Structure formats: structure tokens, C-alpha cells
Amino acid sequence: MAVLDDTQLTIAASRALLQKGELSVRELVSIFLERIKEKDQELGAYLEVFEEHLWEEAEAQDKMIREGNTIKPLWGVPIAVKDNILIAGERANAGSRMLENYTASYDATVIRKLRNAGALFLGRTNMDEFAMGSSTEHSAFKKTKNPHDITRVPGGSSGGSAVAVAAGMAMAALGSDTGGSIRQPAAFCGAVGLKPTYGAVSRSGLIAMASSLDQIGPLARSVEDAELLFSFMQGEDPKDATSRSGIIAERKDIRIGVPEEYFSWKEKGREEGLEKDVAACVRRAITLLNENGYLTKTIHLPNTEYVLPCYYVLMPAEVSANLARFDGVRYGLHERAGTLLEEYERTRERGFGREVKRRILLGSFVLSSGFYEAYYGHALKVRRAIKRDFQHAFEEVDVIISPTVPAPAFRFGEKEDPVAMYLGDIFTVPANLAGIPALSMPCGAVERDGKQLPVGVQLMAPWFGEDRLFAVGKRLEELL
């Protein structure tokens, strides 16, 4: 096997080694399988590893290389997949007992596209049940631990994918982001995570949580790797009516906006707010950009205080509608009872966890007769106002920079109060409500209990402005 620092091995570097014959696909796969065996019993990132299939696919790719075939861009790249993205013939549980025995009958569009580019799939990663959570504490199967401090959460709901990348148990991973579920765990674990523009990546084959907010995206070791993965994932798909292609004109002199409301955020009547040392890490990143040719200016997003109330009306409403399909009749868990209604009730009682039930109840309430306009209808109006905030901001600047989350990873059980958990979404949710792309990347660390915990900085761009995120992100990586 080639001698290399596999903890820093990127997609571009591995492809170069494969082309030179200094590394085989089988050797590349073995690096990550050995790392999984070494670390995952403690960290719990994976629900299942596809070891048998991996060896077969690695042998087939090595054979094609030996026969002189052109190496595809993602040939041999071992990617971990969140448990709510379908791979034909493999189980997909969405972290829930409700789908414990469900096997996917088709590939998600992103899986098909990445496979066509040569990628290999390592296994299914743990997640909060049906993507509802910010800590991966709400998985029905196990808790995933933060590799920087195993007493702390990795974030969620794509916690398993973030840990797999951060701990060197995958070169990259797929996650889904409804209110920050790629970016927040990326920030907690020290990885790069991208939530693309809504519609830029097909949602076909993603087990839905909230359909107007969900988006599949990559987690990676570098901005360049995230960019490469996104380039193969993006594009229109006839299986997803919301998918579309788009691009905005590039600018040479990128203006960066710093939202005053984010850096002064303090939840009314509560202790939660942006922690000073986290803000200092992000401020340092802003200073470095400013000192290296980027114009930075203060901007205003006046409806920031309404972001969380808006999101936590709209999201549960869509959850209650999407999860109504899980009734025990067509697929998934089925509990027998005397009447059809009793079967529904028993199946859902056993199949759904506490957080899922909470959000279904909230959603059913805000959609109920007499409350629809007061809650759901009003939240739709607020969402439009939040989108207008970004439209106005992007008339002044090209990229917006902010913290990804207000604090570093918290301890298991520390956020038993669901509202305290929800408040951590304050900086990530706006991008989902507006549908704009957002990227989180590491920008330093803060000390808690003698451990260095990663801090993430978030970059946001106009609709289909992912190229701007990658350009600024790669430059910031060089400067940090």
C-alpha cells in the first residue's frame, strides 16, 4: 500500500494517486474500512457498512484501470450516505423504527449521478429520526458521538455523516438539510458542509421531512471536495418537479456582507445568544478576508427575530402532512389490532419517537380548522418577508458571512428543553426559508472543559450562487 497521510487525503489527491498507479481502489477502500473498524464502535457514525459490495466494486474498478480505461472523476471515492437517502437493495430506516425493515427499491437521483461518476458507497450513517433534531440524540438506534469530545453531540440531523468525514471514516458524505442539518453538524465536527440552492439538487429518493425546505448536500474535508461533489449532484431531474438548473454571473470584486442582527443576537427572555469566543473566531475570518482584498460591510436582515417562529410553524406543518403516509399498511412497521384505526394508532405509537410525535402534533394543530390562517397562513407571509430581506441584501453584497451556530457542540442531555435545542438553528434556518445556498466551513476552535471544539463560519450567496461560496471558501481556507 502507498505510504500516505490518509487523514488528509482529498478526492483530488486520491485521483492523482490512482492515475499514477501509486494507489489502488482496493487499497483506498481498505483505508476507510480499517478506520471504521478502529473508531466506529466508540463513535457510532454508521448504522451499516456495505463491506461485501465495496470489495466487489473496488476489484471491478481496479480491473478497468489495469485495462487502460479512463479514470472517472470520482473513481474509488468512498462516500458515506445518510440513512434517509435511498440506495437500491439497501435498507433505509431514516433513523426510525417505523422503517426499520424497509429496503429501497430504487436509487436516489444523487446516488445514481455519483455512481456514474465512479463513487463508491461505504454505508448508511446514523441520523435524528426522520431528520428531526440537532444532535443525533433522536435516532431510534443509537447515539453518535463527537470525535473531538465523546461526551458531546456531533450535531444533527446529519450527525453520522459529519462524524464519518471528521473522524476519517469516509472521504466525503451525503446529508440532508432542512433547517441546518448539514451545516450545524459540519460546524460541530470540523467538516465542510453545503446546503445547495433549493432545487439545485434533486430530492428524488430522499425520505421527505418538509418538502419546501429539504435539500441534499455534501459533507467533505475541503471546500474543493464539496465543490467537486456538488458539480456531479446538481441539475434538473424529471423525477423532482422542483429541481432546476441555474447560474449567476461571477464577480471579480466580491463584496461581503456582515449581518448586524446575527452578531448581536440574544434570545429575548433567555440566556441563549451568540457566545463571545465563537463570535471572535468568525470575526477573525472576516478580518482575514478584509485584509486580503475583500470589501466587507455591515448589512441588515431585519426579520431575523421572526425566523425561528416562522420555521417552527411551517416545518411541523409539512412534517405532519409528509408523515401521514406511514400508517403501517403499505410499507414499514405494522402492528396488528382489532380495527383499522387501532392498527394506525398502535403502529404510530411504537414506530415514531418522541420528537417526531411532538412535531406531528404541532403541525396538525397549526393546520387545523380555525388556526390555519392565524399560524400557517401568517408564517407564509413572514417567510416571504425573510426572502425579501435577502433579496435586498444581495443588491448590496455578493456573499453574506455569519457564524454557523451560536455555540460549540453541547453535552448529551444538555438541551432536554426542546426550545433550547431549536434556538441553535437561528443562523442556519434563514437559508432554508429563503432557498439560498449556504456553506459551513471550519474557522477555528474554542476550549470547553479542556477540549478544543471546532467553530464553523457560514457563507451564504444568492440563489444558484454556489460558485461564489466555493471561491470565497477556498480562499478563506488558504488564509486560516
Coil/strand/helix, residue 195 = strand
Rounded CA separation 79/99 (Å): 23
Predicted pLDDT of residue 136 = 96
pLDDT digits (tens, 9 = 90+) for 257-311: 999 999 998 877 777 799 999 999 999 999 999 999 999 999 999 999 999 999 9
Rounded CA separation 304/72 (Å): 44
Q: The pTM is what?
A: 0.95
Mean pLDDT score of the chain: 94
Rounded CA separation 379/125 (Å): 33
Q: What is the mean pLDDT of residues 93-107?
A: 95
Count of alpha carbons within 13 angstroms of residue 284, beta-carbon side? 16
Cell numbers for 391, please give them. Answer: 433579496
Cα–Cα separations (whole angstroms), residue 359 to 130, 190, 378, 384: 11, 29, 19, 23
Q: Is the pLDDT of residue 21 over 90?
A: no
Q: Is the pLDDT of residue 1 over 50?
A: no
**Helical segments of 69-120, H only:** 109-116
- Domain ranges (residues) in the chain: 6-233
Respond yes or no: is residue 24 known to be catalytic.
no
CATH class of 6-233: alpha beta
| Residue 46 near residue 80, CB atoms below 8 Å | yes
Conformation bin of residue 364: beta by default, left when phi > 0, alpha when psi is -120 to 50:
alpha
Strand order in the sheet with 255-259: 46-49, 120-125, 78-82, 172-176, 216-220, 192-195, 438-448, 451-460, 399-403, 255-259, 295-299
Return the higher-pLDDT residue of 121 and 336. Answer: 121
pLDDT digits (tens, 9 = 90+) for 380-405: 999 999 999 999 999 999 999 999 99
Coil/strand/helix, residue 320 = helix
Rounded CA separation 60/25 (Å): 9
Catalytic residue among 134, 157, 158, 204: 157
Return the higher-pLDDT residue of 474 and 53. Answer: 474
In DSSP terms, which residues pair with 452 in a beta bridge? 447
| Residue 261 near residue 300, CB atoms below 8 Å | yes
Omega cis (within 30) before 211 = no
The confidence band for 2, taking pLDDT boundaries of 50, 70 and 90, is: very low
The confidence band for 77, taking pLDDT boundaries of 50, 70 and 90, is: very high
Predicted pLDDT of residue 466 = 97
Catalytic residue among 134, 181, 204, 222: 181
Catalytic residue among 24, 82, 158, 243: 82
Cell numbers for 418, please give them. Answer: 426542546
Rounded CA separation 7/31 (Å): 10
Coil/strand/helix, residue 467 = helix
Respond yes or no: is residue 157 known to be catalytic.
yes
Respond yes or no: is residue 243 known to be catalytic.
no
Expressed in angstroms, the distance from the first to the final Cα of the chain is 32
Pairing of strands 78-82, 172-176: parallel
Rounded CA separation 157/149 (Å): 18
